[in-house]
Structure 1
Amino acid sequence: MKLWQTTVSIAGGAIALLGVGLAMTNPGPTAYEDFAVHQLTRYLQTNICQELPPQLRQFSEQCRSLGSTLLDTARPQLQNLIAQNTRRENYLLFSIYRTGFSSPPLPRGYEFETLGVFGQFYIYQMVAEGSGDRNP
């Protein structure tokens, strides 16, 4: 009987410690905005210049260089755009962030769902407007 009580006490303590750790490392909105700006910037740098019409493909390197400079300059506006278009569901131990874009800077509308846990973010769903596709 003592062994059972000791085992249950240790397991309960471990679960409580894990819960406290999750609650303390649940990332907040500012951290999410930084993460989302980084992801959006990376997406725009990679994809927008790749989607140039064939007659302009020779300028893709200049597009990436100029685009990088423009995106660095526009970072505060991008962060504000993300803040305005994001809903946070805070479950104390983790958070779910839903961000939707239906206009520029993306070529079409998207909705992203992101899990924030242990100080990290994981995009687990992306829906392109009008496609019905749900991509992890």
Structure 2
Amino acid sequence: MARWQIALLGIFALGGLAATNPDRAAYETYAVEQIGNLARDQCDRDPGGLGILVQGPCRAAVSAYLPQLRPLLSATTSRQNLFLFSIYRSDISVPVANFNTRIESIGIFNRFFTYKAP
């Protein structure tokens, strides 16, 4: 394969990466879903033997709170756009589940990969 063909292939590959770098709105949708799952898991932990007594109300409160989370997430998320992919960092608090965390994810190929979460 000639050098120009290899260079052209490389340019197309880089263009494909850039074209599939997901935007902030896609990240927010992904993050709200992930945070909801993490907060529900927090609800499922047995706080002092209360178990089922608090699990249901906690999960209901998390579900009610999630629609309000997107604007908060938007305000507390930073995006480092590296053209081929993006790094997202979010500081999140879900008071109804006593859940506070920082989540870090990479967006590439129209997908997100979380590499730092509780």
TM superposition score normalised by structure 1 = 0.74
Give the aligned partner of residue 51 of structure 2: 57
The residue type paired with residue 27 of structure 1 is P
Moved over 2 A (4+): 58-63, 69-76, 101-110
Change (3 A) 1:70 1:105: closer
Q: How many residues align?
A: 118
- SS in structure 1 at match of 2:2: helix
Q: Which has the higher contact order (CA 8 A, sep 6+)?
A: 2
Q: Check whether the contact 1:26–1:116 (CA below 8 A) recurs between aligned residues.
A: yes
Mean CA deviation greater in 69-78 or 99-108: 99-108
Return 5+ residue gaps in structure 1 as ranges.
Answer: 1-5, 129-136
The Cα shift of 1:33 comes to 0.3
Q: Check whether the contact 1:50–1:60 (CA below 8 A) recurs between aligned residues.
A: no
Q: Which has the larger radius of gyration?
A: 1
Is 1:32 aligned to 2:27, yes or no? yes
- SS in structure 1 at match of 2:83: coil
Give the aligned partner of residue 131 of structure 1: none
